[in-house]
Amino acid sequence: MEMTEPQVWTLIGVFAAVMIGVISLLLRQGHKTLTVLSHQNESTLASLSHQNESTLASLTRQNEITLTSLTRQNDSTLASLSHQNESTLTSLTRQNDSTLTSFRREIEARLEGLQGVFDARFEAMDAKFDARFEAMDAKFDARFDAMDAKVDTRLGSIDRRLEDLDKEVANLATRFWGSS
């Protein structure tokens, strides 16, 4: 089958357009996948943050209710003891103050412990997400590198074939015009 030079160049142009289109579609699909994964991770982080905030608020409310209840108990005890002797009242007041102080310290220690637990969980989640993102980046980089290598190999093969075709066309032209 003999082809003219414009037909050969047209065929080469069509092939190049198809290859560029395929590469464009592959790159667009990879970008969409990264965007979807990024949105999923953001929504998961927002959900976890909301859960932790509501848990912390609930614990704070419970501690306030407990403190209010203890304060009311202490106030009623002090009212009944106020009719008694002053030294007993002073002694009980000191005892109540130390109890409240130790209870507050215990509550503060528990809250600090909870804060440490939440911080550790957030750090673990951050590390987990960072590791997943890095793994995804490495995976996509490897895929893109493999695709680049395939495209480079194919383009090199096409260049060699074009050079061979060009030589054959030149030889045919020499034979055709050289022999007439």
Residue 148: pLDDT band (50, 70, 90) is very high
Query: Is the C-alpha dihedral spanning 83, 88, 90, 94 positive or negative?
Result: negative
Would 2 be classed as within a structural domain? no
Would 7 be classed as within a structural domain? no
Distance CA 46, CA 51 (A): 9
Would 176 be classed as within a structural domain? no
- Structural tokens at position 69: 């209840």
Q: What is the pLDDT of residue 126?
A: 94
Q: What is the pLDDT of residue 73?
A: 86
Residue 179 pLDDT greater than 80, yes or no: no
Would 105 be classed as within a structural domain? yes
- Structural tokens at position 132: 């997943």
Residue 136 pLDDT greater than 90, yes or no: yes
Percent of the chain with pLDDT over 90: 57
**Which residue, chain included where needed, has tokens 């550790």?**
120
Total domain count, the chain: 1
Q: Among residues 14, 45, 26, which one has the least CA distance to residue 127?
A: 45
Would 15 be classed as within a structural domain? no
Residue 40's identity, in one-letter code, is Q
pLDDT tens by residue, 61-81: 888 888 888 888 878 776 776
Residue 163 pLDDT greater than 80, yes or no: yes
Would 92 be classed as within a structural domain? yes
Q: Among residues 99, 64, 59, which one has the least CA distance to residue 78?
A: 99
Name, in order, each residue with C-beta under 8 angstroms of 144's C-beta and a sequence gap of 6 or more: 30
Would 49 be classed as within a structural domain? yes
| Contact indicator for 81, 92 with CB cutoff of 8 Å | yes
| Contact indicator for 29, 147 with CB cutoff of 8 Å | no
47: domain range?
34-128
Q: Among residues 31, 36, 168, 138, which one has the least CA distance to residue 176?
A: 168
Q: Among residues 70, 51, 67, 46, which one has the least CA distance to residue 110?
A: 67
Would 75 be classed as within a structural domain? yes
